[in-house]
Amino acid sequence: MSVTTDETVTRSENQGPAPVKKLQRRGVFAGGQYIPYTLLLPAVIVLLGVLVYPIYSLIDLAFQNVNKFAYLKHPEKAKYIGFDGFDKILHDDTFWEVVLRSIYFTAELVILSMVLSMLIALLLNRVSNWVRVTVFTVMMFVWAIPALVNGQVFRWLFASNGGVVDYVAYLITGDETWKNYDWFADPTVGLYVVGAAVVIWGALPFLVLGLYAALTQVPKELMEAAKLDGANGLQAFRHVTIPVIRPFLMISAALSFIWDFQVFAQIYALRNSSPESGYQTIGTYLYMEGIVPSRYSDASVISIIMIIMMLAALVFYIRQMLKIGANER
């Protein structure tokens, strides 16, 4: 039989609960704090191996005067010329026309593709399940078609001789002039209408699927509360749906800018592998002015300038990813 005194009770109360033993980290092993970095290390090494040397070679080539003749016949004639290649490109008025056209074209593509994708995603939220599955299946097939094939198909659709679009326009309007309307005679129409159509067509599947998935994450309770407070559909979309899906909107807009700014295959196919000057964006300009005439140093200079122009979108994309990661913690 044990006896508990007041002194023992007082000492026990003063001491408090027994300390909890802190868990020990186990380094790179399972459960350790360094295990995520260890798993990422192989991917980082592969990326460095794939990117570092080509980028170094690109920069090195930009400061030389290498072309096909110097590279194949007389490599000893290739020499370093410093910033002369950059000075040549940056003082070329045609280059800045192409840059301005690329910015306008990219802005059109990003805005239209995001708006259309949002409308389609909202519509898919209101249809039956079998319709939704059918649309998703068709979009996956569209997504699987190469960009060159899409460009070729749209070139046939908008052809001035037997084109499907011209024939449908004639059936709707009854105007004979639509039978042989040349969509590519004016580069403004050919690029900003037909070119935009083929690029947006290929971008819709990814954006629609992503936006639909984002919309499913909007809590129904918030939408019901907004409606109970008197908000109409547009107000609920603006003040409830948009804030919830804003992270994906920001990321998809940044990715769309990166993809659309360097678009090449669709325009290349639309113009039958020979884009005229009015159809040239930065991607096709790089190919026609650097790769086709085998002016490798000029192509490297244009590539570096193109990368620098895209850094703004890349920085924006990275910042959004970091914000999203911070919010999920």
Whose tokens are 């350790």? That residue is 32
The verdict on residue 152 lying in a domain is yes
Residue-wise DSSP of 196-260: HHHHHHHHHHHHHHHHHHHHTTS-HHHHHHHHHTT--HHHHIIIIIHHHHHHHHHHHHHHHHHHH
The verdict on residue 3 lying in a domain is no
pLDDT at 12: 47
Q: What is the pLDDT of residues 201-260, one digit of tens each?
A: 999 999 999 999 999 888 888 888 888 888 887 888 888 888 888 888 888 888 899 889
Find the domain containing 201 and state its range: 87-327
3-state secondary structure (DSSP) of residue 62: helix
pLDDT of 74 strictly over 70: no
The verdict on residue 202 lying in a domain is yes
pLDDT of 25 strictly over 70: no
Query: How many domains is the chain partitioned into structurally?
Result: 1
Average the pLDDT over each of 125-139, 265-279, 305-319 and give the range with the smallest value: 305-319
Give residue 221's identity as a one-letter amino acid code. Answer: E
Residues belonging to the chain = 329
Q: What is the pLDDT of residues 168-180, one digit of tens each?
A: 999 998 888 888 8
Q: What is the pLDDT of residues 82-117, one digit of tens each?
A: 898 899 999 999 999 999 999 999 999 999 999 999
The verdict on residue 164 lying in a domain is yes
pLDDT of 19 strictly over 70: no
Phi, psi of 216 (to 5 degrees): -70, -15
The verdict on residue 311 lying in a domain is yes
pLDDT of 1 strictly over 80: no
Closest CA to 142 of 153, 150, 131, 134: 150
> By the 8 A CB rule, do 62 and 286 touch?
no
CB atoms within 10 A of CB 59: 13
Q: What is the pLDDT of residues 156-170, one digit of tens each?
A: 999 988 889 999 999
Residue predicted with more confidence, 177 or 11: 177
Average pLDDT over residues 148-153: 92
> Is the Cα torsion angle 255, 256, 262, 266 positive or negative in sign?
positive
The verdict on residue 243 lying in a domain is yes
The verdict on residue 52 lying in a domain is no
Query: Cα–Cα distance between 304 and 163 in angstroms, integer?
Result: 39
CATH number where 238 lies: 1.10.3720.10
pLDDT of 27 strictly over 70: no
pLDDT at 100: 95
3-state secondary structure (DSSP) of residue 74: coil
CB atoms within 10 A of CB 175: 10
pLDDT at 14: 53
3-state secondary structure (DSSP) of residue 275: coil
Average pLDDT over residues 17-34: 55
242-249 LR contacts (CB < 8 Å, sep 24+): 244/214, 244/217, 244/218, 244/219, 245/211, 245/214, 245/215, 245/217, 245/218, 247/320, 247/323, 247/324, 247/327, 248/210, 248/211, 248/214, 249/114, 249/211, 249/214
The verdict on residue 144 lying in a domain is yes
CB atoms within 10 A of CB 305: 18
Give the pLDDT band of residue 318 (cuts 50, 70, 90): confident
pLDDT at 101: 95
Average model confidence (pLDDT) for the chain?
Answer: 84
Strand partners, 80: 64
> By the 8 A CB rule, do 302 and 322 touch?
no
pLDDT at 86: 92
pLDDT of 2 strictly over 50: no
